[in-house]
């Protein structure tokens, strides 16, 4: 549960300090290639490959999932070459039309200047309608993966150095999580983000389809608990929903919080966290 809460916490709370700049993708996955692709018959596909702007997620019936998040993409001899994050920097070559996709995953030892090599590409096809079972199992996870890319643009310094603001980050989180269209996040909407985050983590760790389902199931309970905790701690106006202003409240305002030179410092060393610290400070005031 800790990785799940850490990912969602970092995403939802919109830390005041932007992440270190990363190399921006030169083009991303070409838009005509984005979306869901299938191997086999549309009624009962053997596997699904989902392409977003900067990622490829492969879900097989029995084999472990595979999620590549590209740190760089570029054109190479008519192919789009995506290079993923990670120690081995796995690569994927993509080429196709609106209806047919060719995919190559080169051997790690093969240099870029020798790509695409002699291997035969895997062929993927579009389906007019997503198979219902796959849609139910993976819809929220795929939606979160796409949303995460939009959130990363607003919440890190990678896309435009100096463009990060806590308010813009919080607004992007709300915009991506807001299903109802009221510009706020409800408990259910936060829970949906947690379930999506659980799917992304499990896919990145190579979970099988059964384990992906289990991760999403665990994320359901974790999502409710996390959502209620965030609501209890950040819903300042008590309306049962989180706005961008509430999420970014102190991250935006801290620079204008100047304090006052009047008075004397109270003893804070040794006080416990949370309510104990607050109680100790109040008792210190009362004793003066």
Whole-structure pTM value: 0.78
Structure token digits, residue 239 = 């309306």
Count CB atoms within 10 A of the CB of residue 158: 19
Q: In terms of Cα–Cα distance, which of 173, 166, 171 is closest to 192?
A: 173
H-run or E-run covering 220: helix 209-234
| pLDDT tens string 216-251 | 776 666 667 778 887 888 888 989 998 988 877 766
Question: For residue 258, what pLDDT is reported?
Answer: 66
- How many residues appear in the chain? 288
Question: For residue 23, what pLDDT is reported?
Answer: 47
Answer left, alpha or beta for residue 227, where phi above 0 means left and psi between -120 and 50 means alpha.
alpha
- First-to-last CA distance in the chain? 44
Question: For residue 61, what pLDDT is reported?
Answer: 84
Burial of 157 (0-12, 13-18, 19+ CB in 10 A): middle
Question: For residue 5, what pLDDT is reported?
Answer: 43
If the chain, 288 residues long, is cut into consecutive pieces of 10 residues, what is the mean pLDDT of each piece? 46 41 65 95 93 95 92 94 88 94 94 91 94 88 91 70 71 91 91 86 87 72 75 87 83 63 64 53 55
Question: For residue 214, what pLDDT is reported?
Answer: 77
Q: In terms of Cα–Cα distance, which of 257, 253, 275, 277 is closest to 266?
A: 277
Tell me if 140 sits within 8 A of 176, measured CB to CB. no
Question: For residue 17, what pLDDT is reported?
Answer: 38
* Domain ranges within the chain, ordered by starting residue: 2-18+132-250, 31-125
Question: For residue 218, what pLDDT is reported?
Answer: 67
């Amino acid at each position: 549960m800790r990785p799940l809460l850490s990912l969602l916490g970092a995403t939802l709370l919109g830390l005041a300090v932007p992440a270190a700049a990363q190399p921006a993708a030169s083009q991303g996955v070409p838009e005509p290639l984005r979306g869901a692709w299938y191997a086999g018959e549309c009624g009962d596909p053997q596997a699904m490959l989902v392409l977003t702007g900067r990622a490829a997620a492969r879900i097989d019936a029995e084999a472990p999932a595979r999620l590549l998040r590209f740190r760089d993409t570029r054109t190479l001899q008519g192919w789009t070459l995506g290079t993923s994050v990670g120690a081995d920097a796995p690569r994927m070559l993509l080429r196709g039309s609106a209806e047919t996709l060719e995919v190559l995953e080169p051997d790690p030892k093969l240099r870029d200047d020798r790509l695409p090599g002699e291997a035969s590409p895997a062929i993927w096809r579009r389906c007019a309608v997503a198979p219902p079972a796959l849609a139910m199992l993976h819809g929220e996870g795929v939606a979160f993966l796409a949303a995460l890319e939009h959130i990363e643009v607003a919440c890190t310094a990678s896309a435009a150095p100096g463009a990060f603001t806590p308010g813009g980050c919080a607004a992007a989180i709300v915009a991506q999580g807001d299903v109802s269209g009221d510009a706020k996040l409800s408990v259910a909407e936060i829970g949906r983000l947690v379930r999506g985050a659980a799917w992304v983590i499990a896919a990145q760790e190579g979970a099988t389809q059964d384990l992906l389902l289990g991760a999403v199931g665990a994320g359901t309970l974790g999502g409710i608990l996390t959502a209620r905790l965030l609501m209890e701690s950040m819903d300042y106006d008590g309306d049962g929903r989180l706005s961008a202003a509430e999420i970014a409240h102190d991250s935006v305002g801290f620079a204008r919080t100047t304090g006052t030179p009047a008075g004397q410092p109270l003893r804070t060393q040794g006080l416990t966290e949370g309510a104990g610290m607050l109680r100790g400070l109040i008792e210190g005031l009362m004793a003066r």
